[in-house]
Each structure stands twice: as structure tokens, then as C-alpha cells.
Amino acid sequence: MAETGHGGNQIVERILEPQEAAEKIKGLKSIPIRSQIANEVIDIAYGWFTPLQGFMGRADVDAVCKNMRLVNGTIWSIPIVFDLSEAEVSDYGIKEGDTVLLTYDDNPMAIFEVEEIYEYDKKEMCQAVYGTTEEKHPGCARTYSYKDKFLGGKITLVNRPKINPPFEPYFIPPLQMRKIFKEKGWERIVAHQTRNVPHTGHEWLMKGAWLQTYAELSIEKPLVGVLVNAIIGEKRKGDYIDEAIILTQDELRKAGYFGDHNHLTSLTFWDMRYAGPREAVFHAMLRANLGLTHHMYGRDHAGVGDYYGTYEAHHLLASVQDDLAITPVYSMNWLYCPHCGEITSEGLCNHKDEWQKFSGTLIRSIVQDGVKPPRLIFRPEVFDLVMECAEKYGFGSPFVTDEYLEKRTPVFTIPPLSV
């Protein structure tokens, strides 16, 4: 479990088997954690966050904010922190050097070796990571909601999460993912980051990235795969429901728009920060740890509102590409040209006045009305599955509602520790 850079062969995996875990947790103080921290415990323990072995101490947070690197020099763009209030630290009796038990669903989840208790200026963190201190930015709002103390130290998973239907086949941790790539014989694998149901603009982004990645190879008949890696985390009202996202992405393969030979769908637990360029770098690190060689980046990657320029993420990635363990594949905005009768991109044809953008807002309104969009905009198999998911998982809606947030089956649960 030595520190390495991301994307290397030494993936950090910190997981105890049940018998050893049962012994290790005896007599430990218990601290309940919220869903964001539980997601990040999973990411650390299974190696998505390699080389991190736990939550960051002050020196690493400071280095990430100021230099976009860990203290050891590894490029890293978003702080991974564990917060508690001063009152909670006092009430739990936590001191530096303590080992505590983190619980979720009232069940043991992980051991936390508390190496450091510290403070960090949240406004400074926001300005560094998001380029703004405005509370209306969702990343800033999340940061300002953190409590006043941060705890740094290693974590070790003592109880593996139970992944609930229909998500089980899509939970593929880094070591397992790398084995799958090897079995498939894929020479190059390009990531498609998503938190949406796919329309044909998304499909053509993937196909364009596949073609670009394929073209880089000089070997005969190279095997190139697309990994759709869906971000599953905190939901906001109006988002697509998680079940629809993951199942419709896989439907592109099942319906034949891709094939088993070049397409795979998986998930990563992460609560989006909407950090634009910095989150683009963060996604590169995540996917490098999964074993990918390339990562597709379209317009305004991981952005929100008008905080970032259309291709600002491209520029930041290009400036640090030599330090990344993955090759960015840049894409312009995909459009539909009715004159050409095909999907196109800015600058490919001379019918600018006729171009039709893939408006997510427009497509969502069509879906909400239950009207099947044209095939050139939305694959019929995908639309039908969205409607099916609405009835089966979304209480009648394919979009997140208060009822969905209250009654949905969680993506994962932590069961009682079984020995």
C-alpha cells in the first residue's frame, strides 16, 4: 500500500476481510458519516483515489489548492477532506493519534486513523478550486457547508458495500476493471464521463473519441474500447434518475449502436463539484486509475452556469498533459445539420445558419411530455427504456423528484458486519 502516482500499476486498495475487521474494530469509538464521505471512503479503499490512502492533511490540502499537486509532487486538483465540528471532535473525544470507526447505515464501514486535526480557510479553498467565492456556485456552497475542523489520516474499509439493483453489474473497482480490459484485449480505452441519459450528440462524442483514439495506433486492427463511466452521487431535483442514466448508457451497446467488442458501462461514486477545468483534471486521474489510456473532453466539461469558458478545461489539461497518466481527446461541440442530414461539428460544413444544437433542456422537456423524439436526436430504444425506468424506479418520472429522494432504493448500503 505504498504511495504511487495515479495511473500506475500499484493501485492502493485498503480493505480488510471480515474476520480481521471484526477484531480490529473492537472497542473503537464510532462516528456516523454522511453519504458524501461514504462515497469517498469507497473511492479511497478500492483505489479510485490512488495514491491517496485516506483523507488529506493540511499540507496536502494547501499544496492542492495552491499548486494543484500533492506534497509528494503528484498532480491532484480537488481536496478530499473529512470534516467535523469542534463540538463533535470534543463530544467524541477525538485526538490526533486516535483510531476511530466510521459507520454508515448504523453499520461499521471503515477504520479511520486520525493523524491530524486542523482548520483551513474555506473561502481560500473555493477561490483556488472553483475560481470564485460565490455561494451560488454549487461547489462553493458545498465547501461552505463543511464544518470547522478537518481530520486527516488513513482509512481502511472493514465492510464492503452491498450494491443494490440495478447497479450491481456496473460497480467495477480499478483492479477488477484492469482485468476486464486485459481479457477484452483492448489496446486503448477512452473514457466518456457522464451523469446523463445519452442523446445522439453524446453517442457521437463517444464515436468521435473512439475514432481519434483508434487513429493514434499504428498496429494492425487495434482493439479500442469506450468506457462509459457514470458519476453516481448526490442528486438534485430535475436531474435524470440514476437508474435511467446507467441503464440507458448500457442500452447503446445492447441495442447495437456499439458492441461488446468496443463498449462497456460502469459507475464511480462521486458528488460532483462542478469545478470545470479542475474537475476535468480530477476525472483524468480517476480514469487513469481505472486503467484507461484516453479521456474524452467536450465543451464546458464539468462546468456550471457561465463560470468557465467553453474550452477552458481543454486549456488546463493541455498545460499539465505531461504530468497526466492519460491522454486527453478533445472534441468540439456536436450539432445536427438538416441540410447535410447528419451529425456534424462546428466548422465541418458551411450551413451554420441551419445548425441545430443538442439542447439538453429541450430534450428533457420532450421526454417529460412523453413524446418520442426523432431518431436522429434520441435512439428509440433509449427513450423506451427511460420511460420504463420512470415507472419502475422514478415513481412515474425519469427526473429526480422529492418523492424519489425520499423513497428510492439507495445505490449501495452497508450491511451488518458478517464474520
Of 184, 193, 179, nearest in space to 259 by CA: 184
Looking at domain 18-162, its CATH class is: alpha beta
> Can you give 310-352 as a three-state secondary structure string?
CCHHHHHHHHHHHHCCCEEEECCCEEEECCCCEEEECCCCCCH
| Predicted local distance difference test score (pLDDT) of residue 223 | 86
Of 190, 221, 184, 222, nearest in space to 205 by CA: 190
Within 8 A by CB and 6+ apart from 141, the residues are 135
Is the peptide bond prior to 166 cis by the omega test (within 30 degrees of 0)?
yes
Please give the Cα distance from 369 to 159 (Å, whole number): 43
| Predicted local distance difference test score (pLDDT) of residue 360 | 66
Is the peptide bond prior to 328 cis by the omega test (within 30 degrees of 0)?
no
- Kindly state the cell numbers that stand for 415: 450491511
Positions in the chain whose pLDDT score sits under 70: 1-5, 215-222, 358-362, 419
Q: For residue range 317-331, what is the model confidence (pLDDT) as tens digits? A: 999 999 999 999 998
Please give the Cα distance from 298 to 214 (Å, whole number): 18
Please give the Cα distance from 87 to 351 (Å, whole number): 63
Q: For residue range 91-126, what is the model confidence (pLDDT) as tens digits? A: 999 999 999 999 999 999 999 999 999 999 999 999
| Predicted local distance difference test score (pLDDT) of residue 221 | 62
- End-to-end CA distance of the chain, in Å? 24
- For cell 434520441, the residue is 378
- Kindly state the cell numbers that stand for 419: 464474520
Please give the Cα distance from 100 to 111 (Å, whole number): 6
CATH domain 168-409 topology? Rossmann fold (3.40.50)
What radius of gyration do the chain's Cα atoms show? 22
Question: Would you list the domain boundaries of the chain?
Answer: 18-162, 168-409
- For cell 459507520, the residue is 103
Please give the Cα distance from 27 to 162 (Å, whole number): 25
Secondary element (H or E) of residue 209: helix 200-215
| Predicted local distance difference test score (pLDDT) of residue 377 | 78
Contact 82, 117 (CB under 8 A): no
Map residue 116 onto helix, strand or coil. Answer: strand
Within 8 A by CB and 6+ apart from 407, the residues are 395
Please give the Cα distance from 191 to 185 (Å, whole number): 16
Please give the Cα distance from 315 to 305 (Å, whole number): 19
Burial class of residue 121 in the structure, from the number of CB atoms within 10 Å of its CB (0-12 exposed, 13-18 middle, 19+ buried): exposed
| Predicted local distance difference test score (pLDDT) of residue 21 | 95
pTM of structure: 0.93
- For cell 477512452, the residue is 190
Q: 98 φ, ψ to 5°?
A: -75, 155
Contact 94, 186 (CB under 8 A): no
| Predicted local distance difference test score (pLDDT) of residue 3 | 41
Of 277, 170, 166, nearest in space to 229 by CA: 170
Q: 15 φ, ψ to 5°?
A: -140, 130
User: Which amino acid is located at 345 in the chain?
Assistant: S
Contact 239, 399 (CB under 8 A): yes
